[in-house]
């Protein structure tokens, strides 16, 4: 124990903790409490009703529908994003073959890396408004206007309940790929050159190089990506709200928990019930995070 340690600790922690407890923890605890009331959002005196809201939750079809959608997102979003990002990162870093003993990316790598990252700097609201037009169900939409060139009839991206959720997944992938390309690129850059050289020496083609060398050595980074994207799958509220037909439709086909919480809170004025859903979402997310972190825990975090 060194001299002056405690005054220093207190001094450094006081301001951030005070701020955090005041503006974050206190409101959140109140929300947890509200989950056990019948509060309607505008009255001053919510009535305590115990766990009634949670009981109701168990019988709420829409709630379970939203949970199932999270399940789909949880599988599709990480898989697709990681596959695409990995492929591009490989092309951009190692795809150009060896030049002077150094693995290089294909021609134009810098440009691609610059462009792919664009969606990362845009607010989700902006992306939502733009994709309304990308997915427009007639020829004036970007995608359908393009398909028309090939004589394909307009696809009802957001209006067809069977594909709407996939269209949402596509936007999330569109938006995330750039970040993971950069992330994986950094991971690939840290793979020692000698390993590639040795592999080339053994006559490994690029396919073999990718699966035998790059993938295994990137395993840690891949796991991190999986956790990030998995947790992203529990959100998706903003994009669903801006983009989907009838906010989570058609007929609930794209709804997620965030959307239902929002609807119950602000549209039905059932803040108590909405808070209960929020608590459920909290525990779902935490359970997922705990499970995956257990599997993919990294040295630096464990320290």
Residue 25 vs 72, nearer CB to other proteins: 25
74 counts as binding other proteins under rule CB under 8 A: no
Angle at the Cα of 197 (from 192 to 198), degrees rounded to 5? Answer: 100
Tokens 């080339």 — which residue?
200
Determine, following the binding rule CB under 8 A, whether residue 6 of this chain makes contact with other proteins: yes
Strand 102-103 relative to strand 98-99, pairing: antiparallel
Which sign does the torsion angle of CA 169, 171, 177, 179 carry?
negative
Q: Does 139 bind other proteins (CB under 8 A)?
A: yes
b/e code 189-215 from CB counts within 10 Å (16+ = b): eebeeeebeebbeeebebeebbeebbe
When asked if residue 232 is in the footprint of other proteins (CB under 8 A), the reply is yes
Site track 275-294 with other proteins (rule: CB under 8 A), x = hit: x--xx-xx--xx--xx-xxx
Q: Is residue 36 part of the contact set for other proteins (CB under 8 A)?
A: yes
* Inter-residue contact 118 to 108 (CB < 8 Å): no
147 contributes a contact to other proteins by CB under 8 A: no
Does 73 bind other proteins (CB under 8 A)? Our answer is no
Q: Which CB atom, from 185 or from 214, has the smaller least distance to other proteins?
A: 185
For residue 80, state whether it binds other proteins (rule: CB under 8 A).
Answer: no
Residue 210 touches other proteins, criterion: CB under 8 A: no
- The distance of closest approach from Cβ of residue 1 to other proteins in the complex, given in angstroms and rounded to an integer, is 9
Residue 119 near residue 127, CB atoms below 8 Å: yes
Q: Quick one: which of 5, 58, 150, 295 contacts other proteins (CB under 8 A)? A: 5
Q: Give yes or no for residue 83 binding other proteins (CB under 8 A).
A: no
Under rule CB under 8 A, residue 134 binds other proteins: yes
Residues 152-171, interacting with other proteins (CB under 8 A): 154, 156-159
CB of 73 to other proteins, least distance (A): 12
Q: Give residues with Cβ within 8 angstroms of 262, minimum separation 6.
A: 237, 241, 274
Segment 40-69, which members bind other proteins (CB under 8 A)?
40-46, 48
């Amino acid at each position: 124990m060194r001299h002056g340690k405690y005054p220093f600790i207190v001094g450094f922690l006081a301001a951030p903790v005070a701020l955090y407890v005041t503006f974050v923890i206190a409101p959140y605890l109140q929300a947890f409490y509200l989950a056990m009331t019948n509060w309607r959002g505008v009255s001053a005196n919510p009535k305590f009703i115990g766990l009634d809201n949670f009981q109701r939750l168990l019988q709420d079809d829409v709630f379970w529908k939203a949970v199932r959608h999270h399940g789909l997102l949880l599988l599709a979003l990480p898989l697709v994003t990681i596959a695409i990002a990995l492929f591009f990162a490989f092309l951009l870093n190692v795809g150009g073959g060896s030049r002077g003993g150094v693995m290089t990316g294909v021609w134009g790598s810098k440009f691609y890396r610059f462009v792919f990252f664009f969606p990362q700097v845009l607010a989700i609201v902006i992306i939502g408004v733009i994709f309304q037009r990308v997915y427009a169900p007639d020829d004036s939409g970007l995608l359908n206007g393009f398909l028309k060139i090939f004589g394909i009839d307009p696809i009802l991206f957001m209006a067809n309940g069977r594909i709407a959720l996939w269209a949402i997944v596509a936007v999330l992938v569109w938006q995330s790929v750039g970040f993971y390309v950069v992330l994986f690129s950094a991971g690939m850059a840290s793979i020692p050159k000698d390993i590639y050289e040795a592999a080339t020496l053994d006559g490994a083609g690029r396919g073999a190089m990718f699966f035998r060398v790059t993938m295994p050595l990137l395993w840690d980074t891949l796991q991190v990506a999986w956790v990030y994207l998995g947790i992203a799958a529990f959100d998706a509220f903003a994009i669903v709200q801006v983009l989907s037909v009838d906010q989570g439709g058609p007929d609930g086909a794209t709804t997620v928990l965030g959307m239902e919480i929002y609807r119950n809170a602000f549209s039905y004025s059932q803040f108590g019930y909405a808070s209960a859903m929020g608590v459920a979402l909290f525990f779902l997310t935490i359970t997922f995070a705990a499970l995956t972190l257990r599997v993919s825990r990294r040295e630096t975090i464990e320290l």
